[in-house]
Structure 1
Amino acid sequence: MRLTAILFWLLAFTAQPAFAASAPELKSLEQQLSLILASKSGDHGVAALDLATGEIVGVAADEPFPMASTVKIAIAAHYLAEVEAGRRSMNDIIAGRSAASLMDAMIITSDNHATDLLLMNLGGPAATQRWLHQKNIYGLRVDRTIDQLLRARRDLYDVRDSSTPRAMVNLLGQLDKGNLLQPWSRFHLLSLMERCKTGKNRIRGMLPFGTQVQNKTGTLNGLTTDVGFITLPDGRRLAVAFFARHGTDRPRTIAETARTVYDGFLRWVKTPFGAKAGVTTTAPALVPQTAAPTTASAGFAVRASTERH
Structure 2
Amino acid sequence: MNRTLHRIGAAFAEAGVTGRLHAVDIDSGTEVDAGADHPVVTASVHKLCLLVALHQQAAAGRLDLTEQVEVPPADRTAGPTGLAAMLDPVRMSLRDAAYLMTAVSDNAAADLLLARTGIDGVNEATARLGLTRTRAVHTFRSLFAGIREDAGPAAARALADPQVIARLRALDPARSNRSTPRDMTRLLGAVWRDEACTPEHGAAIRRLLGLQVWPHRMASGFPFDDVHVAGKTGSLPTVRNEVGVIEYPDGGRYAVAVFTRAANPAATLPAADAVIGTTARIAVDALRAYSTGSMPDRPVRRTTGAGPGV
1:177 paired residue among 176, 193, 196: 193
**Equivalent residues of 1:229, 1:238 under 8 A apart:** yes
What SS class does the counterpart of residue 11 from structure 2 fall into? Answer: helix
- Correspondence 1:18-33 to 2 at 5 A: 28-33=3-8
Give the C-alpha shift of residue 133 in structure 1.
1.2
2:255 paired residue among 232, 235, 239: 239
Number of the residue aligned with 1:204: 219
**Unaligned runs of at least 5 residues, structure 1:** 1-19, 21-26, 271-278, 282-309
1:263 paired residue among 285, 289, 296: 285
**Equivalent residues of 2:32, 2:287 under 8 A apart:** no
Number of the residue aligned with 1:64: 39
- Correspondence 1:151-300 to 2 at 5 A: 151-153=145-147, 154-155=168-169, 156-159=171-174, 160-198=176-214, 200-210=215-225, 211-248=227-264, 249-269=271-291, 279-280=293-294
The code of the aligned residue for 1:168 comes to M
**Aligned partners of 1:187 and 1:243: how far apart in 2?**
25
The code of the aligned residue for 1:221 comes to P
**Equivalent residues of 1:94, 1:117 under 8 A apart:** no
Give the C-alpha shift of residue 74 in structure 1.
1.0
**Aligned partners of 2:195 and 2:210: how far apart in 1?**
20
What SS class does the counterpart of residue 239 from structure 1 fall into? Answer: strand
- Correspondence 1:67-216 to 2 at 5 A: 67-95=42-70, 96-123=91-118, 125-153=119-147, 154-155=168-169, 156-159=171-174, 160-198=176-214, 200-210=215-225, 211-216=227-232
**Aligned partners of 2:104 and 2:184: how far apart in 1?**
20
Does residue 12 of structure 2 align to residue 37 of structure 1?
Answer: yes
**Aligned partners of 1:94 and 1:193: how far apart in 2?**
22
**Equivalent residues of 2:23, 2:284 under 8 A apart:** no
Give the C-alpha shift of residue 262 in structure 1.
2.9
**Aligned partners of 1:79 and 1:206: how far apart in 2?**
30
Runs of 4+ that moved beyond 4 A: none
**Aligned partners of 2:207 and 2:128: how far apart in 1?**
25
**Aligned partners of 1:197 and 1:40: how far apart in 2?**
23
Give the C-alpha shift of residue 84 in structure 1.
0.8
Q: TM-score, normalised by structure 1?
A: 0.75
Greater CA drift, 72-81 or 255-264: 255-264
The code of the aligned residue for 2:94 comes to A
Give the C-alpha shift of residue 93 in structure 1.
2.4
Between structure 1 and structure 2, the one with the greater Rg is: 1
Count of residue pairs the alignment pairs up? 246
Q: Which has the higher contact order (CA 8 A, sep 6+)?
A: 2
Give the C-alpha shift of residue 54 in structure 1.
0.3
**Aligned partners of 2:186 and 2:223: how far apart in 1?**
26
CA-to-aligned-CA distance 1:195-232 (integer Å, 9 cap, x gap): 1013x111111313212001111111111011010013
Give the C-alpha shift of residue 143 in structure 1.
0.6
Q: TM-score, normalised by structure 2?
A: 0.74
CA-to-aligned-CA distance 1:71-106 (integer Å, 9 cap, x gap): 111111111111111111111123342101101111
Give the C-alpha shift of residue 40 in structure 1.
4.2
What SS class does the counterpart of residue 280 from structure 1 fall into? Answer: coil
**Equivalent residues of 2:18, 2:262 under 8 A apart:** yes
The code of the aligned residue for 2:41 comes to P
Call closer, same or farther: CA 1:172–1:202 in 2, change over 3 Å.
Answer: same
**Equivalent residues of 2:229, 2:244 under 8 A apart:** yes
What SS class does the counterpart of residue 259 from structure 1 fall into? Answer: helix
CA-based RMSD of the aligned residues comes to 1.9
**Aligned partners of 2:186 and 2:263: how far apart in 1?**
27
